């Protein structure tokens, strides 16, 4: 399922509320905003959590627990199908090649190759991580997936 396949359930979509078009429409005069005051004005209203100047509950309560959001790793992602856009003379693909081709940004985020699309050329690809399907497609095309940006040496012990 994809976003373009989704459709609304019958009854989920409503007509736009036409306000300020006369008393007969049911939303005339004050246009559903009640009387006068801050909330009747354009751009008016109070922010979420505001309690009229009283110390808001979210500031009174102690903070507890741990949240891993601050330590999440964000990856620059490239699908194997996008690698077919690269120049056919390129055989070794690394971050610098992808930045030059405009596939990823030149930042400090680690690079991950994902398996969407098909790969026809045999490429030696260096990245921090590979999805299982991407690794499979690269090797099926006769290429090589090099984890961590450096080739993994097989020990002869």
Q: What residue segments make up the domains of the chain, in order of their start?
A: 71-147
Domain 71-147 CATH class label: alpha beta
Tens of pLDDT, residue by residue over 28-74, are: 999 999 999 999 999 989 999 999 999 999 999 998 888 888 899 99
H helix or E strand, kind and range, residue 147? strand 144-147
Regarding pTM above 0.85, the answer is: no
- Both tokens of 23, joined, read 């008393």
Tens of pLDDT, residue by residue over 73-98, are: 999 999 999 998 888 888 899 999 99
**C-beta contacts of 138-145 below 8 A and 24+ residues apart:** 138/80, 138/113, 143/119, 145/113
């Amino acid at each position: 399922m994809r976003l373009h396949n989704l459709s609304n359930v019958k009854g989920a979509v409503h007509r736009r509320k036409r306000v300020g078009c006369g008393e007969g429409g049911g939303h005339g005069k004050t246009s559903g905003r009640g009387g006068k005051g801050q909330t009747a004005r354009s751009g008016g209203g109070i922010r979420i959590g505001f309690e009229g100047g009283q110390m808001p509950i979210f500031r009174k309560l102690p903070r507890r627990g741990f949240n891993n959001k601050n330590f999440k790793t964000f990856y620059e992602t490239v699908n194997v199908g996008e690698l077919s856009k690269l120049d056919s003379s390129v055989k070794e693909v690394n971050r610098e090649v992808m930045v030059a081709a405009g596939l990823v940004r030149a930042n400090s985020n680690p690079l991950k190759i994902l398996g969407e699309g098909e790969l026809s050329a045999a490429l030696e690809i260096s990245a921090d991580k590979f999805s299982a399907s991407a690794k499979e497609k690269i090797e099926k095309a006769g290429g090589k997936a090099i984890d961590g940006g450096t080739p993994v040496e097989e020990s002869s012990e």
